[in-house]
Amino acid sequence: MIKKGTIIAVVIALLTALAACGKSAEPSSSSSAGGEEAKKKVIVGTDAAFAPFEYMDKGKIVGFDVDLLDAVMKEAGIDYELKNIGWDPLFAALQSKEIDMAISGITINDKRKQTYDFSIPYFESTHMIMVKENSPIKNALDLKGKVIGVQNATTGQEAVEKLLGKDNKNIKKFENTVVAIMELLNGGVDAVVTDNAVANEYVKNNPDKKIKTIADPDHFESEFYGLMFPKGSDLKPKVDEALKKLIKSGKYAEIYKKWFGTEPKVDNLLK
Ligand code: ARG
């Protein structure tokens, strides 16, 4: 007897193949057909390996940032498309204006502000240490002499460099945070330093992995996320205005509660 699951799988495969056919048969360009040039979609880039802010779920980019972006763009009346292009390429693509803006849990800091523009802050974050449950590491100072994993070119890397020294060979840089956490599971690193909400989300979703998080407010500062633009982008004022409206109207709080289960402290954002 053929199993029901097998039949369903075959039907899904056929449908997927059919859908793909339909797509490639379509004309590749639909502009310039009817005189008036179609309004260009704003391209937003992200690195969708940073749950709960942006991650892939059944082939779709989802997360707090994704919902917030959608609300902002609707409020501002901007047609957009979100693309998962990875963390390091994000910065280059913005600079070359290959993409128009980025949302990716990106911390607003002075160094980045020299090259990019940022929206008003939309989320407060700090760093956290992730270790195996039986690790001897208890705080940031215990990271000395240990092998630490970070995502390359993040503020997490900077926070660890501040503690251990910039060219410390014990700081292992990974392309994304998911890979860094995998190294922790494999024993390739003794700890991972990343944004607190991301560390907590991983531990919550993976109790079987026996990982715990350690906060250390004495050594990790508070920072704020913003949407990032090429310098001088005319999207910034529109996005700022929409963001402010959503924060004041309670729509921001609604999205925040959906992802974090608690009420946000919006006063810190509107300062
Ligand atoms: N907040 C940190 C930074 O801006 C890490 C962000 C990483 N985001 C991501 N989607 N991988 O450096």
Does ligand 1 have an atom closer than 6 angstroms to the CB of 194? no
The arithmetic mean of pLDDT across residues 174-187, rounded, is 98
Does ligand 1 have an atom closer than 6 angstroms to the CB of 105? yes
Please name the residue that has the structure tokens 């460099």. Answer: 161
Does ligand 1 have an atom closer than 6 angstroms to the CB of 264? no
Q: Which of 32-36, 151-155, 224-228 has the lowest mean pLDDT?
A: 32-36
In the DSSP assignment, the letter for residue 107 is B
- Looking at residue 28, what is its pLDDT? 44
CB 82 within 8 Å of CB 65: no
Q: Closest Cα partner for 105 from 195, 10, 15, 217?
A: 195
Q: Closest Cα partner for 259 from 61, 121, 64, 56?
A: 64
Does ligand 1 have an atom closer than 6 angstroms to the CB of 106? yes
pLDDT at 37 over 70: no
Distance, in Å, from the CA atom of 144 to the CA atom of 261, rounded to the nearest integer, reads 35
CB 82 within 8 Å of CB 69: yes
Ligand 1 atom at shortest distance from the alpha carbon of 47: 10
Q: What mean pLDDT, rounded, does the chain reach?
A: 91
- Looking at residue 35, what is its pLDDT? 44
50-to-20, 76, 106, 199 alpha-carbon distances in Å: 29, 26, 11, 10
> How many angstroms is it from 107 CA to the middle of ligand 1?
7
pLDDT at 15 over 90: no
Does ligand 1 have an atom closer than 6 angstroms to the CB of 157? no
- Looking at residue 77, what is its pLDDT? 98
pLDDT at 18 over 70: no
Beta carbons within 8 Å of 240's beta carbon, 6+ residues apart: 119, 120
